[in-house]
Amino acid sequence: MKHDVIVALDFPSAQEVYGFLDQFREEKPFVKIGMELFYAEGPEIVRQIKARGHQIFLDLKLHDIPNTVKSAMRVLSRLDVDMVNLHAAGTIDMMKAALEGLTRPDGTRPMLLAVTQLTSTSEERMQRELLISATMPETVRKYAQNAREAGLDGVVCSPLEAAMVHEACGADFATVTPGIRFADSAADDQRRVMTPEKARLGGSDYIVVGRPITRAEDPVAAYRRCVREFIG
Ligand code: C5P
């Protein structure tokens, strides 16, 4: 399994993204484009960042009826991104349809990941509001197994869940984990955080890092530190 640091480009406009990326002269970080940037700038931002030579995780978390997700994934497959995702709650049928839509005529496709339960959802709310009576670890494990059964490549999960996901779904099933902080940096609004080194030891294959890099005084130095701590 490949390991990499994915930088979350949580900026409101293309101008700010380019200002950030222009600071990287030697390396081309793997980047994540989320809803805010995609909805503000449209698919053109993906093409532009791809043309600069970055690998891209397009984090749009699709969740709809299987046919709609399949058609949407077909459109996304033409954007030449490297990773996309959806909600495992959409069912195995929806995940299978997504894979079909994502597969290009030449048989290639981006990696497809599932969100199990959002880390912002507490076990208490999941049980009381969503009427899921299982525990959070049981739910994450089952949703990951559903994603595996549908043929997906991995899940987005907490670094605290990565080892359990690998144990349930195999070492080759990717774990992509946000919620990463350096030992000496602020947690911001993340509740349960892990350092890059601990995430690696805990079984994370890719870590998603936003503010510790984007808001650092020297983002390039922070990115390099992250790579050093995660990959060695
Ligand atoms: O700034 P920070 O490192 O907290 O950014 C983490 C990134 O990962 C953000 O883009 C956030 O939306 C995303 N994310 C997360 N927790 C999840 C899923 C995605 O923090 N469970």
pLDDT tens string 186-220: 888 777 789 999 999 999 999 999 999 999 999 99
**Number of domains into which the chain is organized:** 1
Range list of β-strands (E), 92-205? 111-115, 154-156, 174-177
Ligand 1: centre distance to CA 107 (Å):
31
Q: Is the Cβ atom of 196 under 6 angstroms away from ligand 1?
A: no
- Of 215, 112, 203, 127, residue with least CA distance to 158: 203
Query: Confidence band (pLDDT; 50, 70, 90) for 114?
Result: very high
pLDDT for the residue 232 = 85
Q: Is 96 a catalytic residue?
A: no
Nearest CA, atom 13, ligand 1: 178
pLDDT for the residue 164 = 98
Ligand 1: centre distance to CA 173 (Å):
20
The answer to whether 94 and 112 are in contact (CB under 8 A) is: no
Q: Which residue in the list 2, 28, 61, 198 is annotated as catalytic?
A: 61
> Per residue in 122-148, pLDDT tens?
999 999 999 999 999 999 999 999 999
Nearest CA, atom 16, ligand 1: 178
User: Which residues contact residue 155 at a Cβ distance below 8 angstroms, ignoring those fewer than 6 apart?
Assistant: 88, 113, 114, 115, 116, 143, 144, 147, 165, 169, 173, 174, 175, 176
* Average pLDDT across the chain, whole number: 96
Q: Is the Cβ atom of 65 under 6 angstroms away from ligand 1?
A: no
User: What DSSP assignment string belongs to 33-50?
Assistant: EEHHHHHHH-HHHHHHHH
CATH number at residue 113: 3.20.20.70
Ligand 1: centre distance to CA 23 (Å):
22
- Structural domain span for residue 180: 4-230
Which tokens sit at 161? 């869940």
> Per residue in 67-91, pLDDT tens?
999 999 999 999 999 999 999 999 9
The answer to whether 208 and 159 are in contact (CB under 8 A) is: no
pLDDT for the residue 2 = 86
